[in-house]
Amino acid sequence: MIRKSVHPHVHKIIHILKDHGFQGFLVGGAVRDLLLGDQPKDYDLSTNATPEELKKTFGRQARIIGRRFRLVHICFGREVYEVSTFRRKPSSTERQGRKDDDGVMLWRDNEFGTLEEDAFRRDFTVNALFYDPITDSIEDLVGGRPDMDNELVRAIGTPEERVLEDPVRMIRAIKLMAQYGFKLEAELETAIRKNASQISLASKARLFEEILKIMNKPYSFKTFDLLHDFGILKHIMPGLDYEWQYENKHIVQKMLQVRDDRKINCNFYSNSRVLALATICFEPLRQLARIHTDSEEEIWKFKDSVDSLVRKATFDFFHGVVIPKFVRTRLTGIINLIPRFMMTKKRAILLNHKDYYYARELFLVWLIATDGDLSILDRWPKKRLEQTPHHNKKSHPKRRRRRRPKHQGLSK
């Protein structure tokens, strides 16, 4: 059926698992993609072997990761495959162990279970198919196969309960609509529209991860468009949601579309989070800066520093979603570089900058979205110059590693 499309490493892992008497399946997005004839970007595997048994079976190729939710990474050179042990939903008595349990929100389930229990703890039927590449067969315990054929996103269990249990599932359902053009079952759609504001209860860190995941796929515009339509976007990124008030598509939306097209058409498109966030914030920041001047070259030089603007924009945009400081600093750096593309002097500063590549890409996306003059970029090579004196390692003696301050050791 889809055996030929499965990566040989996945075959190998499942073969080894079976040889050692365990069960082993490919699960989640990879099965979905393969059934639709797409090549998966990554593979998740599921087994009844515990992390320790996996470690024993795969030896140095396996690494147990995570403290509470323990998974195993199996490595083939630089390629990593995530293998998780079947899990089940915790029972109500097990949940009582959690102090802040409100009876609705589910915390990450971490109790080992059976294949069946694992299928039923998953969110949607199309995400709960278990594929065995050795027998080329699918275990479908939840009716996901017919739903795939009908292009339908259906919750496993009662839609509203499953959404309230983990509001991030609302975004996950919408991603399936944007990516595959699937429809939502009526009851799930009603549950999402009714409970859209509950998304604010999800942890900021998870929401930040979701934003990055959306930006990593070439459906970002469609996904944010649907998230806006369902009334979810305003609770995650009010700043971005605001852009949907205009009748015609605003520049940010066009930039997202340009980025999506480039992701599809370029052989390689970086998943840099700084570039992703810059693509979302750049134009609104530019608009803020324009309040002070009309000159493109002067635009970033007014009294408010770009950093404070970025701080404000990232706060407004991401509604308090914590953007790590180093990401914000690099974001500021990239945005500061943009006016330099218009200058003829001091080319080297831009060309040698470590984020030149991202700044050029951001500027290119903005130029295309605004029907700007692309010939400006003719003078700027695609890649940063390598081995310039500044980056020539040999001309710099090796830096000594800084010692940790003593008090850090004492506080352990």
CA atoms within 13 A on the CB side of 76: 10
∠ at Cα 274 (404, 75), nearest 5°? Answer: 70
Q: Is 29 in the site for Mg ion (CB under 5 A)?
A: yes
| Binding at 144: pick from Mg ion, ligand ATP, none (beta carbon under 5-8 Å per type) | none
Q: Map residues 67-106 to x or -, x wherever contact with ligand ATP holds by CB under 6 A.
A: ----------------------------------------
- The interface with ligand ATP within residues 14-43 (CB under 6 A) comprises 28-29
Residue 104 phi/psi, 5° resolution?
-115, -65
Enter the tokens of residue 139.
């275990």
CB of 95 to ligand ATP, least distance (A): 16
- The interface with ligand ATP within residues 141-170 (CB under 6 A) comprises 166, 168-169
Catalytic member of 33, 109, 118, 123 = 123
CB of 215 to ligand ATP, least distance (A): 12
Residue 213 or 347 having the CB closest to Mg ion? 213
Residue ranges of alpha helices (H) inside 186-324 are 186-195, 204-216, 220-229, 233-236, 238-242, 251-265, 273-290, 306-318
> Active site includes 241?
no
Residue 80 or 377 having the CB closest to ligand ATP? 80
Helices vs strands, H then E, count in the chain: 20, 11
Q: Using CA atoms, how far apart are residues 65 and 48, in angstroms rounded to an integer?
A: 17
Size of the site for Mg ion (CB under 5 A): 2
> Active site includes 102?
no
| Binding at 361: pick from Mg ion, ligand ATP, none (beta carbon under 5-8 Å per type) | none
> Active site includes 294?
no
| Sign of the alpha-carbon dihedral angle for 260, 262, 265, 271 | negative
Among 13, 17, 28, 188, binds Mg ion (CB under 5 A): 28
Part in contact with ligand ATP (CB under 6 A); list of ranges 120-128, 239-247, 301-309, 369-377: 120-128
Q: Is 53 in the site for ligand ATP (CB under 6 A)?
A: no
Residue 20 or 213 having the CB closest to Mg ion? 213
Q: Is 202 in the site for ligand ATP (CB under 6 A)?
A: no
The answer to whether 58 touches 82, Cβ cutoff 8 Å, is: no
Total count of residues recorded for the chain: 412
* Residues in contact with 271: Cβ distance below 8 Å, sequence separation at least 6, in sequence order: 215, 216
Residue 128 or 309 having the CB closest to ligand ATP? 128
| Binding at 168: pick from ligand ATP, Mg ion, none (beta carbon under 5-8 Å per type) | ligand ATP
Q: Using CA atoms, how far apart are residues 412 and 408, in angstroms rounded to an integer?
A: 7
Residue 34 or 299 having the CB closest to ligand ATP? 34
Of 319, 322, 356, give the one whose Cα is nearest residue 336: 356
Catalytic member of 44, 109, 225, 355 = 44
Residue 28 or 159 having the CB closest to Mg ion? 28
184-188 long-range Cβ contacts below 8 angstroms, 24+ apart: 184/152, 184/153, 185/152, 185/153, 185/154, 185/155, 185/159, 187/155, 187/159, 187/160, 188/153, 188/154, 188/155, 188/159, 188/163
Residues that bind ligand ATP (CB under 6 A): 28-29, 44, 122-123, 127-128, 166, 168-169
Residues that bind Mg ion (CB under 5 A): 28-29
